[in-house]
Amino acid sequence: TSEVVAPKLAELMHAHGIRRIELFIAIVNALSQDIQMQQLTSNDYLPDPSGYMSNGLNRALAFIDANLVESFNEGDLAEIVGISRSTFSRSF
């Protein structure tokens, strides 16, 4: 499976438009057909979302909530999070 998925994943990192979707679907398809797949967690595993609640994007969302009627842009939100504007944009 890795022989099929790795090149598609590498291409996906630089693809644009509909090609990104095509590659994503091809990767999911290859993974779903793997006859040697292994379960990575137990059936009883429940992730703890509190670990995600402190990430930078939540700081940006809190800022939006608190300043909804104020003027701000993507660069302002990226600065709050402490990342570049392009990195912030890719988060969505």
- 59 inside domain: yes
Per-residue pLDDT tens digits for 20-61: 999 999 999 999 998 888 888 888 888 777 666 667 788 888
Residue 76: the pLDDT is: 94
- 64 inside domain: yes
User: Whole-number mean pLDDT of the chain?
Assistant: 88
| pLDDT band at 91; cut points 50, 70, 90 | confident
- 82 inside domain: yes
| Average pLDDT over every residue of 55-82 | 90
- 85 inside domain: yes
- 16 inside domain: yes
Burial of 60 from C-beta contacts in 10 A (0-12 / 13-18 / 19+): buried
- 11 inside domain: yes
Structural domain including 27 reads: 2-32
Residue 51: the pLDDT is: 64
- 40 inside domain: no
> Measured between alpha carbons, how far is 55 from 81 in angstroms, rounded to an integer?
8
57 and 86 in a common domain: yes
Contact (CB, 8 A) for 85 and 75? yes
Other Cβ atoms less than 10 A from the Cβ of 58: the count is 12
- Closest of 12, 40, 42, 14 to residue 27, by C-alpha: 12
- 62 inside domain: yes
Residue 53: the pLDDT is: 61
Counted domains in the chain: 2
